Amino acid sequence: MANSSTGPLDGVRVLDFGRYIAGPFCATLLADLGADVIRVERREGSEDRYVQPIVPGAAPGEGGEGSMFLQMNRNKKSITLDPMHADGQEIVARLVKTADVVVANLPPSTLQKMGLDLPSLQAHREDIILTTVSGFGRGGPDSEKTGFDGVFQAMSGAAHLSGFGDAPVKSYAAWVDFGTASFAALGTMAALMDRGKTGRGQMVEGALLGTALTYFNFHLIEQKLGGTDRVASGNRSQYAGPADAIETSDGWIFVQVIGDPLFKRWAKLMGEDTWLTDPRFKDDISRGNNGTVLSERTAAWAKDLSTQEALAALEAARIPAGPVLKPADVLENEHVNEVGFFEDVDFPGMPGTAPVVGFPVRMSDSTVGIRKRPPLLGEHTEEVLLSLGYSSGDIETLRTAGAI
């Protein structure tokens, strides 16, 4: 893990009321940059603490935490709290007075009930920044609906154009959630910069549907202006070619050719120089429209080659390609490990260290990344409450009353 030196956001306190990915990972990115992040969980633990448990059936701190929690909550402190309890609301008020940012990916009405809407927060600290993420965004008929990543992959058009046309397919990677978290963190950074100039806080709003539409936007622009009505084509690109998953003698590779220079190199490698003057392949969109032919030619070339041989030949021709790896293969990949994308993170009760990807951007003059493991449930409750002026006796009373 990275050393404990301060990062760019040292001195910024963030209260993380997030759930699952979009809110918690936004706070994680801020924590990676040095912010003091306090994860506020329910007394029994938030749902996302137990998603994909490493040791099914185990208790918290004995391996019951899930892989999602191990990724989303490095560099954070944890307190348990019932924000609907009267004493819990008082704790929230004291916390907010010490905080710069509150992160909460909850529907607008839930924020109000919990006293986490902007006016309620501003009553405790006028220049507070509220970073909130909802599913559908505020102001429309679906604003109060709940939804997860896959719902918005479907609603953006992305799932329709994935798969092979017999049924819509969502990505196994939660790109809508992670994209929203990244946008929310970017907005939060901008709000902190603006507050430094104006002295004013504000609300930063993200929406999963907005993120999905952003990532899929150029396809929607084409649909509106071109009326293309595209349908799924599996792994084959409809905008260039050859760009497809190709089977080798012992596995699969992905080849992606975009632009005339790459196509010329591909045609030379395939021994198909005459295709350079073939009108079917005159530009990227034409190659996409005739991509089946290009994929079949590449597959015929690769079928008797090993994955290693095919990739070596493609690299010699400077054609972008890579192996299709299983999760177990990714963990053993030489390049992944040599670059150091993973950091080994310990956690109580786990059968080994967790390979956690740290802050995804490197900075030449700032310390960013993983400084400490994710917290146990309520591990820092007493420490934080003592810092807010509660005595040990007060804390025991709050615990007995069910506020913490």
From first to last of its 404 residues, what are the pLDDT tens digits of the chain? 554 457 999 999 999 999 999 999 999 999 999 999 999 999 999 989 999 999 999 988 899 999 999 999 999 999 999 989 999 999 999 999 999 999 998 878 888 889 999 999 999 999 999 999 999 998 899 988 889 999 999 999 999 999 998 899 999 999 999 999 999 999 999 999 999 999 999 999 999 999 999 999 999 999 999 999 999 999 999 999 999 999 999 999 999 999 999 999 999 999 999 999 999 999 999 999 999 999 999 999 999 999 999 999 999 999 999 999 999 999 999 999 999 999 999 999 999 999 999 999 999 989 999 999 999 999 999 999 999 999 999 999 999 999 99
Max alpha carbon distance in the chain (Å)?
A: 85
Q: Where are the domains of the chain?
A: 13-215+341-401, 235-328
- Give the separation between CA 317 and CA 267, rounded to whole angstroms: 10
Distance CA 361, CA 26 (A): 14
232 residue type, one letter: A
Burial label for 92, CB within 10 Å (0-12, 13-18, 19+), is buried
Cis peptide before 242 (omega within 30 of 0): yes
**What would the CATH number be for the domain defined by 235-328?**
3.30.1540.10
Distance CA 249, CA 226 (A): 40
Tokens read off for 86: 């009267």
**CATH hierarchy code of domain 13-215+341-401:** 3.40.50.10540
Q: Are 399 and 106 in contact (CB under 8 A)?
A: no
Using H for helix, E for strand and C for coil, what is the string for 304-357?
CCCHHHHHHHHHHCCCCEEECCCHHHHHHCHHHHHHCCEEEECCCCCCCCEEEE
- Parallel, antiparallel, or unpaired: how do β-strands 354-357 and 129-134 relate? unpaired
Task: Write out the two tokens for 349.
Answer: 């009760």
What are the tokens at 50? Answer: 């137990």
CA distance 180 to 210: 8
Backbone angle region of 178, left / alpha / beta, with phi > 0 → left and psi within -120 to 50 → alpha: alpha
Q: Which of 31, 32, 158 is nearest to 103 (CA)?
A: 31
